Structure 1
Amino acid sequence: MRHLYAPAFSFGFIGLALYLVGAGVSLLCLPALLPLAILLAFLAERLWPYRAGWNDGHGDGARDFIHALVNEALNALGIAAIPLLALWLPHFGLWPSDWPLALQLLAALLIADLGITLVHYASHRSALLWRLHAVHHSVTRMYGFNGLMKHPLHQMLEALGGTLPLLLLGIPVEVAALLAFAIAIQLLLQHSNVDMRIGALRHLFAWAPLHRLHHLKYGTAGDVNFALFFSFWDRLLGTALYLPDYVLAEDDLGIGDRPDYPLAYFDQLAEPFRRVEVVHPPAPLPVALRRAGVGVR
């Protein structure tokens, strides 16, 4: 099951969503499927945990639920606004509406993933963007639900980077809804605490064994594996990293020089706009990571 989990979860839920929408079922079936995916993700994390301690709450469960609720509501509003945006935004009518729905979704995933990945990459290079993105990196454990833990302003910036090209091309509402659902499924897999074994699929999909390394708390050691869906973007950016022999410790995650980062939801919303003097030294890179060839750039 550790080898089958990621492809079965991803292709199973996205494939089911494609089937239902293609069969003419209301788009409301997609938000109805998401709680089932979350429930199965939680169950798998308890059956096959990567780190057992990450299944224990850190006082973050209610906060992460609020983050997820707000950000998914923003996604839903964005999808609902597509017909209005189509009236306001110029579009070139280039969307391949005659393609099968699955190919349309694949095209949307490739385009959106590139835009989101570039915004994500920029968020580790720009001090201003990092202040917003740091909310997501403040997590000290990884489990499926905290993939949706983002500052809403950063969520909107990533969404803009991923969807503006699609809107200009004239993406249909049903494809946009499928895209939003696929992103939610991918975030569950990227941040999963399941001890999944993805083998050669790591060359294509940016699932948890790759993305966990992005959350390392040691200086800029985590400036790797930025892609949301497709890991080949990181090879093109020169930021790909895979450490099959390194098992993350339970305290490897977070922001090394901000162990005092606020935990409460509204404090996290306000944190990017506060003047903060960093007085904590960077967390030292563990010997095992230095031996694995990871260095602070």
Structure 2
Amino acid sequence: MIEAGLGLYAIAIPAAMLALMLVTEWLRPRRDLVLGRYPRWRTHALFFLTNAVVGRILSMVVVVGSAAIWADTHDFGLFNRTDWPLWVVTLLAFILLDLAIWAQHHAMHRFRFLWRIHKVHHSDRDLDATTALRFHPLELIVSTLFKSACIALLGVPLMVALAFELWLNCNALFNHSNIRLPRKMDRIIRTILVTPDMHLVHHSTDVAEQNRNYGFALTWWDRLFGTYADESAMGRDHQEIGLAEAVDNRPANYLWSMKLPVT
């Protein structure tokens, strides 16, 4: 019963967040879309379904939940060797896991074989909440294995690990969304969390700008490690999105996107 309940929340909360972002994009869009919603949304839906199948198969080996249970059962990992209060463990787990995700994202851009699979995400010529669903299955596998290892090494409790996953997914839907925030609100939010305007810079066709703003949730790591950029050199209203080698309608095609890592 508990697992069924957790599974329901894991689906319902991101689904509600996605719906909220899509409605807000319609009411208050940040930019006009180059390729529009269709067939981009169809392609992103197919990525979601493909990754759901791959994730189901991967769960037979490891997922973040099973990594947390294994660490607890074997008294493995940092937090299982301490008697810190749950709120301290939760706070530290969120911060350290967020740093790990930042480092993984940085690696995706720095290592050629990882970039080949990650650039599928970057090939989208528009940015909206559905872009957060646009990840190649190979990246899903790499990401799941990496996060699972981090959770085991830290000894993150199961509920905290699952809460972090939900938090990360909701942040990704938010900062990929095409919503126009008031500038003052954007400035306040980005002192802690990555905003759509901040993440927009990372999706620039300019390679130098793709190597900025790696954060998926917290903005601190980009500021700390010198990879923070306030806005694109092209200007916040004129920035081009996607890959310089694919400024056409191919990224909206599912099969082209799936084959991109090997082409």
- Find the aligned partners of 2:46 and 2:90 in 1 and give their Cα distance: 28
1:52-71 equivalent positions in 2, closer than 5 A: 52-53=32-33, 56-71=36-51
- Find the aligned partners of 1:227 and 1:83 in 2 and give their Cα distance: 24
CA RMSD in angstroms comes to 3.1
Q: Measured at CA, do residues 173 and 70 of structure 1 come closer, stay the same or move farther in structure 2, by a change above 3 Å?
A: farther
TM-score normalised by structure 2 residue count: 0.81
Deviation, 1:161, is 3.4
Deviation, 1:151, is 1.2
Q: Is the 8 Å Cα contact of residues 68 and 152 (structure 2) preserved in structure 1?
A: no
Q: Measured at CA, do residues 80 and 72 of structure 1 come closer, stay the same or move farther in structure 2, by a change above 3 Å?
A: farther
- Find the aligned partners of 2:46 and 2:75 in 1 and give their Cα distance: 35
- Find the aligned partners of 1:97 and 1:191 in 2 and give their Cα distance: 38
Q: Which has the higher contact order (CA 8 A, sep 6+)?
A: 2
1:213 matched to 2:197: no
Partner of 1:116: 101
The answer to which of 68-77 and 151-160 deviates more is 68-77
- Find the aligned partners of 2:106 and 2:116 in 1 and give their Cα distance: 14
Q: Measured at CA, do residues 128 and 202 of structure 1 come closer, stay the same or move farther in structure 2, by a change above 3 Å?
A: same
Deviation, 1:59, is 1.5
Residues 180-239 of structure 1: per-residue CA shift (max 9 Å, x gap): 111110111110101023223312211211100000002323210001111110112211
1:81 matched to 2:66: yes
Count matched residues: 250
Which residue, out of 194, 200, 209, partners 2:188? 200
Partner of 2:5: 26
| Bigger helix fraction | 2
- Find the aligned partners of 1:208 and 1:184 in 2 and give their Cα distance: 14
* Structure 1: gaps spanning 5 or more residues: 1-20, 275-297
The letter of the residue matching 2:5 is: S
SS at match of 1:220: helix
SS at match of 1:221: helix
- Find the aligned partners of 2:64 and 2:27 in 1 and give their Cα distance: 35
* Structure 2: gaps spanning 5 or more residues: none
Partner of 2:126: 141
- Find the aligned partners of 2:5 and 2:202 in 1 and give their Cα distance: 37
Deviation, 1:138, is 0.3
SS at match of 1:53: coil
The answer to which of 193-202 and 77-86 deviates more is 77-86
Residues 17-50 of structure 1: per-residue CA shift (max 9 Å, x gap): xxxx9xx993122312222211111111111110
Moved segments of 4+, more than 4 Å: 87-90, 95-98
Q: Percent identity over the alignment?
A: 24
- Find the aligned partners of 1:255 and 1:177 in 2 and give their Cα distance: 33
Q: Measured at CA, do residues 89 and 190 of structure 1 come closer, stay the same or move farther in structure 2, by a change above 3 Å?
A: farther
Q: Measured at CA, do residues 220 and 145 of structure 1 come closer, stay the same or move farther in structure 2, by a change above 3 Å?
A: same
The answer to which of 190-199 and 154-163 deviates more is 154-163
Deviation, 1:127, is 1.4
Q: Is the 8 Å Cα contact of residues 54 and 143 (structure 1) preserved in structure 2?
A: no
Q: Measured at CA, do residues 25 and 128 of structure 1 come closer, stay the same or move farther in structure 2, by a change above 3 Å?
A: closer
- Find the aligned partners of 2:83 and 2:20 in 1 and give their Cα distance: 33
Partner of 1:40: 20
Partner of 1:238: 226
